[in-house]
Amino acid sequence: MSMLYLTPSIRLRRTPFSNRVDSAGAKAYTIYNHMRLASYYETPEEDYRHLKTAVQVWDVSCERQVEIKGPDALRLVQMTTPRDMSRMQDDQCYYVPMVDSAGKMMNDPVAVRLGQDRYWLSLADSDMLLYCKGLAAGSGLDVEVFEPDVSPLAIQGPKADELVCRVFGEEIIRTRFFRHKTINFQGQDMIIARSGWSHQGGFELYLDGSGYGEAVWDALFEAGKDLDVRAGCPNLIERIEAGLLSFGSDITMDHTPFEAGLGKYCHLDSATGFLGRKALLDLQEPAKQIRALALAGPAVPAINHPWPLHDSTGNIAGCISSSTWSPDFDTNVTIAMVKREHWGGGTVLTAKVPDGDRSAIVRDKFWI
């Protein structure tokens, strides 16, 4: 992989787990919400194989939280998203596309409901804290908006339940998908949810108080020795196979939720208070949309700018945003924004990869 050097600075924030991540041997990083995020430990392929067979602990502190608290908390959250929040329970997590007044995506966090008047947004890579602050200031709603000292730690993989059971108790592994419970660690209550940015199952612990970070990490590694617990991170191969979209890569502020394939989260039939409703009503039939593609040939190079897709006459048919070699599916698993006339399953396009043209087949769905 063609790598760049990253100059350290305070602006690129360390996390409560950074000492442990460094010791565990993270080999490369990305920057996400002004914060470090490891991108692999052994190789992306070895991390992937381990993630699918054992259990990993991921420092995803960079999923920063926006806390919205006060009598108008629900009203403010609902203004930002087409998803109907009205029936959300106090122990629920919702995946929520966040959309501006013009119908364009700003973020796609997981919203965590902590009570009638209190929500966290567990962010993708943009400062939604600032949007929420601006919206609160402009609208005069009765809410506090701030970033709490909360840093998610994911426990992912087929043995995640066993590890969580050992450390946090059997009650916790009865948590349903996208529901949360509370654990107590050294006297401190913390939220733990069955969620995470992989398809392998597991939990996200919302570390509440940076000071507990290394002790929580150490407790998990101590208890999981015989499970071969390792440090890990969101894995490029596994997340493309599973169709987990990366905001900033696959979805940007140029896209609507319909283009992003998130139409099922858009409840536009009733006036919930969502500010982008009027704009989205006119955008429900997108001219392009996210698709899974299989790219022929050997492993593609690392992608750092969009690769064009051409049709058989050489016209632009779309644009690839994520692509990498999948050992399990024996192809280059790929995410692209594809024009309507080309997005049907089985359509064959040409991908303009830097090392040459590749045949690309549009799929009906992702791999897993």
Q: Is 27 in the site for its own copies (CB under 8 A)?
A: yes
> Using CA atoms, how far apart are residues 258 and 261, in angstroms rounded to an integer?
5
Site for its own copies in 189-228 (CB under 8 A): none
CA distances from 355 to 223, 302, 303 (A): 46, 11, 11
The least CB distance from residue 185 to its own copies, in Å, is: 24
Judged by CB under 8 A, the residue of 201, 248, 273, 297 near its own copies is 248
Q: Is 100 in the site for its own copies (CB under 8 A)?
A: yes
Nearer to its own copies, 137 or 368 (CB): 137
Q: Is 271 in the site for its own copies (CB under 8 A)?
A: no
Could you identify the residue written with the tokens 């490029």? Answer: 236
Could you identify the residue written with the tokens 């200031």? Answer: 137
CA 60 to chain centre: 10
CA distances from 199 to 120, 164, 237, 295 (A): 23, 17, 11, 22
Q: Is 275 in the site for its own copies (CB under 8 A)?
A: yes
Q: Is 130 in the site for its own copies (CB under 8 A)?
A: yes
Angle between helices 128-139 and 73-80 in degrees, nearest 10: 120
Q: Is 101 in the site for its own copies (CB under 8 A)?
A: yes
The least CB distance from residue 107 to its own copies, in Å, is: 8
Nearer to its own copies, 149 or 171 (CB): 149
Q: Is 3 in the site for its own copies (CB under 8 A)?
A: yes
Q: Is 305 in the site for its own copies (CB under 8 A)?
A: yes
Number of residues that bind its own copies (CB under 8 A): 57
Residue 328 burial (CB < 10 Å; 0-12/13-18/19+)? Answer: middle
Per-residue interface string for the shown chain with its own copies, residues 310-349, x marking contact by CB under 8 A = -----------xx---------------------------
Nearer to its own copies, 173 or 299 (CB): 299
Number of other residues whose CB lies within 10 A of the CB of residue 64 = 26
Judged by CB under 8 A, the residue of 41, 131, 185, 258 near its own copies is 131
The least CB distance from residue 299 to its own copies, in Å, is: 15
71 CB-near residues (< 8 Å, 6+ apart): 117, 142, 143
Q: Is 188 in the site for its own copies (CB under 8 A)?
A: no
Six-digit token pair at 249?
Answer: 């890569």
> Using CA atoms, how far apart are residues 87 and 30, in angstroms rounded to an integer?
36
Please identify, among the stretches 34-42, 65-73, 258-266, 281-289, the one whose residues bind its own copies according to the rule CB under 8 A.
34-42
Judged by CB under 8 A, the residue of 126, 256, 289, 347 near its own copies is 126
Residue 190: closest CA among 219, 222, 212, 163: 212
Angle between helices 213-223 and 160-168 in degrees, nearest 10: 120
Judged by CB under 8 A, the residue of 16, 20, 40, 258 near its own copies is 40
Q: Is 246 in the site for its own copies (CB under 8 A)?
A: yes
Six-digit token pair at 25?
Answer: 């041997």
33 CB-near residues (< 8 Å, 6+ apart): 62, 63, 64, 123, 125, 126, 127
Nearer to its own copies, 32 or 94 (CB): 32
Q: Which residues bind its own copies (CB under 8 A)?
A: 1-12, 14, 27-32, 34, 36, 39-40, 79, 100-101, 106, 125-128, 130-141, 147, 246-249, 253, 275, 302-306, 321-322
